[in-house]
Amino acid sequence: MKIFINPSRDSWQEILARPAVDHSGLRDTVSDLLKQVKSGGDKSLFELTRRFDGIELTDLQVLDEEMLQAEAAVSPELKKAISTARQNIEKFHEAQQVDDSLITTTDGVKCWTRTVPVEKVGLYIPGGTAPLFSTVLMLGIPAMLAGCTEVVLCTPPGADGKVHPAILYCARILGIEKIFRIGGAQAIAAMAYGTESIPRVDKIFGPGNKYVTVAKQMVSLENIAIDLPAGPSEVAVMADETADPAFVAADLLSQAEHGTDSQVLLVSTDAGLIEKVKAELAKQLKVLPRKKMAEQSLLNSRIVVLRSIDEAIDMINEYAPEHLIISCRDYGDVGIRILNAGSVFMGPYTPESAGDYASGTNHTLPTGGYARVYSGLGLTDFQKKISFQEISKEGLQNLGPSIMTMAAEEELEGHSMAVKLRLSKISNNKK
Amino acid sequence: MKIFINPSRDSWQEILARPAVDHSGLRDTVSDLLKQVKSGGDKSLFELTRRFDGIELTDLQVLDEEMLQAEAAVSPELKKAISTARQNIEKFHEAQQVDDSLITTTDGVKCWTRTVPVEKVGLYIPGGTAPLFSTVLMLGIPAMLAGCTEVVLCTPPGADGKVHPAILYCARILGIEKIFRIGGAQAIAAMAYGTESIPRVDKIFGPGNKYVTVAKQMVSLENIAIDLPAGPSEVAVMADETADPAFVAADLLSQAEHGTDSQVLLVSTDAGLIEKVKAELAKQLKVLPRKKMAEQSLLNSRIVVLRSIDEAIDMINEYAPEHLIISCRDYGDVGIRILNAGSVFMGPYTPESAGDYASGTNHTLPTGGYARVYSGLGLTDFQKKISFQEISKEGLQNLGPSIMTMAAEEELEGHSMAVKLRLSKISNNKK
């Protein structure tokens, strides 16, 4: 770990710099894959799965039988945990429902908004080193709450051609029926263009490897919306002398075990904490199954000691971490001064893993400094808003002159005429 | 205009198809411009303005003196109109402020959201055929209401090197102080990377020509957010036998005059209306200053006669227009069945131009079918949400086992350990 003691402000940018992620070299490869699926449809999906995953699929769609097998394969204990997580995520996301209000802006001019679901959404659930069934909950629950009419889920098959039972179980309890065993850029292409089996969607959600990320970027330049720019996961821990070194170490490791590119930052106002955290890291690493991965990502991690909480808050706001754990005495006061972060974990008994799984907040969050401008995923990402206006005759008499004056100044006489003709009719009818 | 009488459903897709917009050929040119500004800063902005606009600038930033001159140059009548529009836009956008609620998802587990402004935003206001000062209101008002701390405005200079007075006036009354006379892809680059004069921003808003559009797309793949994918403006008018042909024609023309690529669609359940609208179009075109442009865009426009309002609603939802005017007897009932549209204009006395300028709704809306998935611009586009959670000891005892079970299944033992260590401390302290 790299340790910085009271670094000057002009060195912060360098200390906080994230490794550059440049996937532009993949664009040609991914572009070819997209074209292949666009023209080849299902056939190309079978071929690409054979080529990349070494699997000879018989069906793309997961059928009822496999769903039932999955349900049987998930332990009662895990089902209970999933049920708890689901309830909490539902409660938190339900509260994001916004009431549409009607405003009279000028007498006779009513304006309002109606919130409606994005009709067709695609959820991508990565395979890889761990079966991320929790992501099914995080994407599927807001999709279902929003009332999306078509929810498609794509996830790569395992070596046996099957999808992990917990992924299928989560999809099933949420009522997601269109599940396809296909991964990578080809899955993104299938949802973006549609194939014989896989419906075309309007918006694609979910994390993935660099091919998935580039494919999402590229289809977003065509006619498809995507959720968030994806990048390596990050945690920042803000700690003072009240922090428990064992908790801090565990929080850093729970991020570091995600992958060798995970970003870990500890900002402390207590220099004495550092050695204790290092000792705890060494101790806890010994028993961690993903020790090698965590060690690797800790090499790139940073510990910064600063003089005051004020400085620490400034540094966190400059870094804009995906996850922020505030392990300080006055964590409540600190929390309200955080302006740039994806999700914040307040106080000693709120580990990041709570938000990853079950507290209720969404774990799809902005990485790479995007927390400066993006929010984590929520209900509204599965909705859109339509604005409405209704103007009465009196309303147009009130507002019309302003519209005509502005239109004339912008040299758009047709815009003015649409008002003028109506006003003439109103005054003629009055005569 | 192309007229379709009772076309079968399987022909709708073709009838509704928009001309393909492919700007990918511009990417190399724009990429060069971006690089040039990134490395050359202000100097390159002067050079590029010389090259593209033929103007030798002395200052990039608009200084106080020019602001005062602008204020004097705007007529009292226009000031009054702008004031009315501003009030309405403020009222409608203020109502979009969302209360952040706190939810207890499990006993001892509190989750909440805090809405904060995007700190640094850039507004692009195009020059070109008309001085779009109304767009200053539509972008600037939500930026100011959200509380963005840095608001940068770029707009191309006129032939005299000056910015249109109405643009400066609107910026001034909103309190936007950082105004730069620079246009095109180079303006987008300046706001994306920052130069000596122009601050780097986190998110860029505003319409523009194809170079601006491509530049926004390209910087959005780097580290900058953008508002909406931009495309040619569109209106769809839904009319039945109660519609006034003169109003319908005026509404079609007020869209058609925007540019030769404007999209106009009339869907009517009354075949008799068509000839009357055509006659009105011919009549009104004669007196329209932008006649040539409007005629050109009418060539690509479509009139569809359908058998029922139900069919018409289905067609509109399939088309997903940017603007929709509902000129039908039961426009209220029709309005609530619209699922895909940017902004809807209800009834005979609500022309699109009302929303373009002054009703209060935002005129930055999704085009090209994006209304299926994007909303028009609003307050929330200038904000982000941070999620928070705070778990008490009791809360972690309640939720911890579920977190550990799920983490173990995803093979993330570090996540589990962060909970386990805390639970051990809680139970040790109780002993």
Residue B129: is its pLDDT beyond 80? no
pLDDT on residue A430: 78
pLDDT on residue A319: 97
What's the rounded mean pLDDT across residues A179-192?
97
Is some CB atom of chain B closer than 8 A to the CB atom of A125?
Answer: no
Rounded Cα distance between A262 and A148, Å, is: 33
pLDDT on residue A131: 83
A263-293: pLDDT as tens digits: 899 999 999 999 999 999 999 999 888 888 8
Query: Looking at chain A from residue 371 to 430, which residues have their Cβ under 8 Å from any Cβ of chain B?
Result: 371-376, 378, 380, 384-393, 395-396, 399, 401-403, 405-407, 409-419, 421-422, 425-426
Single out the catalytic residue among A323, A363, A390, A409.
A323
Q: In terms of C-beta density within 10 A (0-12 exposed, 13-18 middle, 19 or more buried), how is residue B25 classed?
A: exposed
What's the rounded mean pLDDT across residues A313-336?
97
pLDDT on residue A283: 94
pLDDT on residue B399: 98
Q: Are A362 and A378 in contact (CB under 8 A)?
A: yes
What's the rounded mean pLDDT across residues A166-195?
97
Place of tokens 């664009």: A27
Q: What are phi and psi of A410, to 5 degrees?
A: -85, 10
Active site residue A323: yes
Max CA separation in chain B (angstroms): 91
Residue A163: is its pLDDT beyond 90? yes
SS3 B127: coil
What's the rounded mean pLDDT across residues A19-45?
92
Number of other residues whose CB lies within 10 A of the CB of residue A423: 16
pLDDT on residue B430: 78
pLDDT on residue A129: 62
Rounded Cα distance between B375 and B93, Å, is: 14
CA atoms within 13 A of residue B121's CA, in its CB half-sphere: 29
Active site residue B322: yes
A343-363: pLDDT as tens digits: 999 999 999 999 999 999 999
Nearest to A369 among B103, B223, B426 (CB): B223
pLDDT on residue A24: 81
Residue B259: is its pLDDT beyond 90? no
Residue B244: is its pLDDT beyond 90? yes
Nearest to A403 among B348, B354, B416 (CB): B354
Instruction: Say whether A403 and B82 touch across the interface (CB within 8 A).
Output: no
> What structural domains does chain A harbor?
24-99+116-228 (3.40.50.1980), 231-375 (3.40.50.1980), 392-430 (no CATH)
The secondary structure of A325-380 as a DSSP string is EEESTTHHHHHTT--S-SEEEESTT--HHHHHHTSSS-S----TTGGGT-PPP-GG
Rounded Cα distance between B355 and A138, Å, is: 37
B314-339: pLDDT as tens digits: 999 999 999 999 999 999 999 999 99
Token pair belonging to B339: 């699922």
Single out the catalytic residue among A66, A257, A322, A352.
A322
What's the rounded mean pLDDT across residues A11-22?
90
Beta bridge partners of A385: A115
pLDDT on residue A378: 97
Residue A229's pLDDT band (cuts 50, 70, 90): confident
pLDDT on residue A284: 94
pLDDT on residue B128: 65
Average pLDDT of every residue of chain A? 94
Residue B431: is its pLDDT beyond 90? no
SS3 B419: helix
Distance of CA A276 to the CA centre of its chain: 34
Reduce the secondary structure of B220-278 to three states and give it as a string.
Answer: HCCCCEECCCCCCCEEEEEECCCCCHHHHHHHHHHHHCCCCCCEEEEEECCHHHHHHHH
B37-81: pLDDT as tens digits: 999 999 999 999 999 989 999 999 999 999 999 999 999 999 999
pLDDT on residue A429: 86
Which percentage of chain B shows pLDDT scores above 70?
Answer: 99
Q: Are B121 and B152 in contact (CB under 8 A)?
A: yes
Instruction: Say whether B113 and A96 touch across the interface (CB within 8 A).
Output: yes
Nearest one of B26, B23, B132 to B85, comparing CA atoms = B132
pLDDT on residue B72: 96
Place of tokens 């040299």: A411
Lowest mean pLDDT among A260-269, B82-91, B144-153: A260-269
Residue B403: is its pLDDT beyond 90? yes
What is the sign of the dihedral through the CA atoms of B341, B344, B347 and B353?
negative
Rounded Cα distance between B365 and B342, Å, is: 5
Residue B297's pLDDT band (cuts 50, 70, 90): confident
The secondary structure of A229-291 as a DSSP string is -----EEEEEE-TTS-HHHHHHHHHHHHTT-TT-EEEEEES-HHHHHHHHHHHHHHHHT-TTH
Higher pLDDT, residue A259 or A220: A220
A96-140: pLDDT as tens digits: 998 888 999 999 999 999 999 999 999 999 986 678 999 999 999
Q: What are phi and psi of A308, to 5 degrees?
A: -145, 160
Residue A300: is its pLDDT beyond 90? no
Residue B381: is its pLDDT beyond 70? yes
Under DSSP, the state recorded for B201 is -
Tell me the H-state helices in B17-152: 27-53, 64-73, 76-94, 133-146
Max CA separation in chain A (angstroms): 91
